Amino acid sequence: MMKIIKNIKVPTGNILIVQGQKGQLEMLSLGDYGKGVNLKCDAMGLDRDIAKVEHQAILPLSEKWVITISTQYGCSMKCNFCDVPKVGPGKNATYNDLIRQVLTGVKLHPEVTGTKRLNIHYARMGEPTLNPNVLDATKWLKTHIDPEYKIHPVVSTMMPKNNEWLKTFIHIWMRMKNRLLHGEAGLQLSINSTYEKQRMEMFHNNAHTLEGIGEIMEGIIPAGRKITLNFAIAHYEVDPEILLKYFNPDDYIVKLTPMHKTEMATENDIRTLGDYTTMYPYKDIEERLRSAGYDVLVFIASREEDLSRITCGNAILSGTMPETEYQEVK
């Protein structure tokens, strides 16, 4: 285990500041409400409209456990809705840093000796495709803690254009997903808009164009869950016809989420219009994407999830604290 410097208990789990080999890292250990509560996806049989997502009891961790770890100390991508760059420029976490974050999360609950699904999200601080240790750490975790903790690792990336090894990383990851992990892994591409000027602004001109992403992804056929195109819904354009030019609905699913609250998003007035805990902000976009042939997964967050700083773009190390009820565990 790593030394835990700070342990903040929030409504659905814990935010941990831990000591890495190069400094402090931030990670999460979380429970989940269950897909019957906060997900709508007709392709998965979750076809009812969700009136509103309220905070409630989470599933037992033995059913589903989410551990989100940092792949870098800080981040250099400078996305205009993300607080992580305030922590500092992105320096790669070591191989041991990655593995020990997961083990620290698991040891937080010694009473839970296994789980049917351990989602390992490479998504707290940093751009994971810049860190090749992610690939080797995933192999170690598959060998050493699975099947007691049935891992489902997920790489979330904004597809940085200045990463000369990006295509190599993505194709190796997808081979691991298809072969080593038998489909039990995910790749999530942060798209957010189909209008390139908006994408250039939000990603600080650091991301590939949609055409460039399509070229990198050419030839990849996923086993198991389709590749995810993620859209955090704000004032951005979502044009299904543009997506169809580059992303085949047979291989890609579109995920709609709220634009989570961060200091940077607030400063730049980037937010989901309407009540993000209901279907209202997502319904029209979902219908247009489905009409174009895409499977669409709508994730609706509770207010407690969004304000407890556990969501994408947040980092306690940037100087923020949860805006919901929380407790510092000594």
List, for residues 224-244, the tens digit of each pLDDT value: 999 999 999 999 999 999 999
Q: What is the mean pLDDT of residues 166-180?
A: 99
Token pair of 236, please? 């951005």
Decide if 122 is inside a domain: yes
Q: What is the pTM of this model?
A: 0.97
For residue 97, the model assigns a pLDDT of: 99
Confidence of residue 91 (pLDDT cuts 50, 70, 90): very high
Determine the residue type at 257.
T
Judge whether 150 lies within some domain.
yes
- pLDDT single digits (tens) 120-143: 999 999 999 999 999 999 999 999
Return d(Cα 9, Cα 5) in angstroms, integer: 13
Neighbouring C-beta atoms of residue 2, cutoff 10 Å: 21
Residue 119 pairs in a beta bridge with 66, 152
Parallel, antiparallel or unpaired: strands 295-299 and 13-19? unpaired
Number of independent structural domains in the chain = 1
Q: Is 90 exceeded by the pLDDT of residue 316?
A: yes
Residue 102 tokens read as 């997961």
For 259-277, b/e burial (b = at least 16 CB within 10 A) is bbbbbbbeeeebbbeeebb
In a domain, 29, yes or no: yes
Alpha helices in 247-315, H assignment, sequence order: 263-267, 283-291, 303-307
329 domain residue, yes or no: no
Left (φ > 0), alpha (ψ -120 to 50) or beta: where does 139 sit? alpha
Q: How far is CA 293 from CA 57, 219, 227, in A?
A: 35, 20, 15
Judge whether 21 lies within some domain.
Answer: yes
The pLDDT score that the predictor gives to residue 1 is: 85
Range 150-177 burial, b when 16+ CB lie within 10 A, else e: bbbbbbbbbbbbebeebeebbeebbebb
pLDDT at 181: 98
Range of the structural domain that residue 25 is part of:
4-323
Query: What is the residue type of 286?
Result: E
Task: Note the pLDDT of residue 49.
Answer: 82
Q: What is the pLDDT of residue 112?
A: 98
Does some domain include residue 330? no
Within a domain: 328: no
The answer to whether residue 8 is domain-embedded is yes
Structure-derived torsion over alpha carbons of residues 227, 312, 329, 319, reported in degrees to the nearest 10: 150
pLDDT band at residue 254 using 50, 70 and 90 as cut-offs:
very high
Angle in degrees, 0-180, between the axes of helices 210-217 and 166-175, rounded to the nearest 10:
50
8 A C-beta contact, residue 174 and residue 218 = no
Q: In this structure, what token pair is assigned to residue 186?
A: 């995910």
Q: What CA–CA distance (Å, rounded) separates 134 from 139? A: 9
Pairwise CA distance, residues 209 & 200, whole Å = 8
Q: What is the CATH number of the domain that holds 121?
A: 3.20.20.70
Mean pLDDT of 171-175: 99
Residue 121 near residue 156 (C-beta atoms within 8 A): yes
pLDDT in tens, 10-44: 999 999 999 999 999 999 999 999 999 999 999 99
